[in-house]
């Protein structure tokens, strides 16, 4: 309970006779105000002082003798880490993690500035990977989400820099990403970390395909690995953070095929992925099925519907219609699962997917062989029938649940 709450609500409690005026004063005394204000002052003072020193040093950096510059870097590094550890020991976690981050950033700046000071030529991203490794060790040591995301940013930056500047794909960086940050997420599958890792994985795989000049559609099986990792988590609900991005990517490709299915050159481009692509998808689906079975969610295997590589079919209306049906089937499966699990977010997602698929179908389609109106009438009737059936089933389930819950212990 905060002081402010007692201050605003207290007079009413006194007026209603719940507490006396004296008790209100005693309660307020339990939450002294000065403590926080006083705690904030040195922090602000320290921040101003730090900024002042930083700008002073930065302005005169080139003037300073080399050894003095090195000493300043080392001092800042050690001081930031020591202060961070001290703050954590006093249970001031945000401040402590913030100071440790300053230490980590100082390490990176130190690497760059020292190399620059001595005009050393770097031929690879080794130094930056060393920086990321330090961040990884800190993340594991302090179990901090902030340090995790900071390290992820540093690591992805290092991998990008390696390709951009040295024309080398950093497999060491990839190993750090998977073995360090990926494993960390797998052991502690929090939403935010899952999102972060997804983006990191997307970056690493995008760089890989770009570096080896491989067709970009390979991104789907590579992101599919992330999806499968989600299936192998102990709890199903934690998987969403890493499974949404792969599904979004697959949906985007499927939608492009539905929108441009008669464009032979686009399909040819996608087909460059070749037979290994189909094989990779089959392996992924099998691995996913095993994981889903362990989670008891084998029905969600329908997610793989949008991964179907329909672009291997010859360009034309058949591809478009099949792809649209695939998108509808996927939307239907998501809706179905949402109703089954009584999960509002999934129902909403399914609805949006359904609308998107309908929009695609409506504005698209050169309906040479099938009447457009017939397609929509058929779809509408199907949907209404489905909704009627679901509602009936819901009522049945509720009716069955009612007598069961009235006899507890009967299992």
Partner 1 sequence: MNKSTILSTAPSLEGRRQLRFRWLVGAQAVVLLGIAGLAWATDHWGQTLRLHTRPVDPRNILYGDYVRLNYDVSQLDASLWRGSGEIPERGRRVWVLLRKAQPAWLPLGVYGTEPDAGADQVALPAQVETSWSRSLNLNYGLERYYLPEGTGKKLEDAAADSTGLLVRVQVAPWGTVRLQGVEL
Chain residues that interact with partner 1, rule: CB under 8 A: 62-63, 66, 70, 73-74, 77-78, 81-82, 85, 103, 107, 110-111, 114-123, 127, 130, 134, 137-138, 141, 166-167
Residues 72, 109: Cα–Cα separation, whole Å: 12
Minimum Å distance from CB 76 to partner 1? 11
C-beta closer to partner 1: residue 147 or 335: 147
Do residues 6 and 28 touch, judged by C-beta distance below 8 A? yes
Minimum Å distance from CB 86 to partner 1? 11
Question: Nearest-CA neighbor of 267 among 305, 216, 313?
Answer: 313
Question: Nearest-CA neighbor of 184 among 153, 148, 158, 156?
Answer: 148
C-beta closer to partner 1: residue 112 or 248: 112
Minimum Å distance from CB 35 to partner 1? 26
Residues 13, 19: Cα–Cα separation, whole Å: 6
Helices (H), 143-218: 145-166, 171-175, 183-187, 191-211
Minimum Å distance from CB 89 to partner 1? 9
Question: Nearest-CA neighbor of 215 among 267, 168, 159, 261?
Answer: 267
Q: Indicate the angle between helix axes 240-259 and 191-211, nearest 10 degrees.
A: 50
C-beta closer to partner 1: residue 111 or 233: 111
Do residues 390 and 337 touch, judged by C-beta distance below 8 A? no
C-beta closer to partner 1: residue 154 or 255: 154
| Inter-CA distances, 160 with 92, 139, 163, 184, Å | 35, 21, 5, 22
Minimum Å distance from CB 161 to partner 1? 13
Minimum Å distance from CB 74 to partner 1? 6
Do residues 289 and 301 touch, judged by C-beta distance below 8 A? yes
- Report the 10 Å Cβ neighbour count for 30: 9
Minimum Å distance from CB 238 to partner 1? 27
C-beta closer to partner 1: residue 138 or 335: 138
C-beta closer to partner 1: residue 81 or 160: 81
C-beta closer to partner 1: residue 118 or 369: 118
């Amino acid at each position: 309970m905060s002081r402010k709450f007692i201050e605003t609500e207290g007079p009413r409690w006194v007026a209603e006779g719940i507490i006396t005026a004296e008790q209100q004063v005693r309660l307020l005394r339990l939450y002294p105000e000065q403590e926080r204000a006083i705690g904030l002052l040195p922090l602000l003072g320290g921040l101003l002082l730090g900024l002042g020193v930083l700008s002073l040093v930065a302005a005169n950096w080139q003037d300073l003798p080399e050894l003095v510059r090195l000493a300043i870097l080392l001092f800042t590094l050690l001081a930031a880490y020591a202060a961070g550890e001290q703050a954590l020991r006093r249970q001031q976690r945000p401040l402590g993690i913030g100071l440790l981050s300053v230490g980590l950033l100082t390490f990176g700046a130190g690497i760059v500035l020292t190399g620059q000071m001595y005009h050393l030529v770097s031929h690879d991203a080794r130094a930056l990977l060393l920086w990321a490794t330090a961040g990884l060790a800190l993340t594991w040591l302090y179990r901090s989400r902030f340090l995790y995301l900071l390290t992820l940013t540093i690591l992805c930056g290092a991998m990008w820099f390696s390709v951009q500047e040295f024309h080398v794909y950093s497999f060491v960086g990839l190993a750090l990403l998977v073995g360090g940050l990926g494993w960390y997420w797998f052991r502690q599958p929090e939403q935010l970390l899952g999102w972060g890792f997804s983006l990191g994985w997307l970056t690493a795989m995008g760089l890989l395909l770009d570096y080896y000049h491989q067709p970009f559609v390979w991104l789907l099986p590579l992101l599919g690995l992330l999806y499968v990792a989600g299936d192998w988590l102990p709890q199903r609900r934690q998987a969403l953070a890493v499974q949404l991005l792969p599904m979004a990517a697959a949906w985007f490709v499927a939608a492009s095929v539905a929108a441009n299915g008669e464009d032979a050159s686009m399909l040819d481009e996608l087909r460059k992925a070749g037979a290994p692509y189909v094989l990779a998808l089959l392996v992924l689906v099998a691995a996913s099925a095993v994981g889903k079975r362990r989670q008891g969610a084998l029905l969600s295997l329908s997610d793989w519907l949008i991964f179907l590589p329909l672009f291997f079919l010859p360009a034309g209306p058949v591809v478009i219609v099949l792809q649209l049906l695939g998108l509808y089937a996927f939307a239907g499966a998501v809706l179905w699962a949402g109703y089954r699990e009584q999960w509002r977010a999934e129902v909403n997602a399914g609805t949006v997917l359904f609308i998107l698929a309908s929009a695609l179908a409506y504005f698209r389609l050169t309906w040479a062989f099938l009447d457009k109106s017939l397609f929509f009438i058929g779809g509408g009737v199907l949907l209404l029938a489905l909704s009627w059936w679901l509602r009936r089933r819901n009522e049945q389930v509720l009716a069955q649940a009612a007598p069961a819950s009235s006899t507890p212990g009967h299992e």
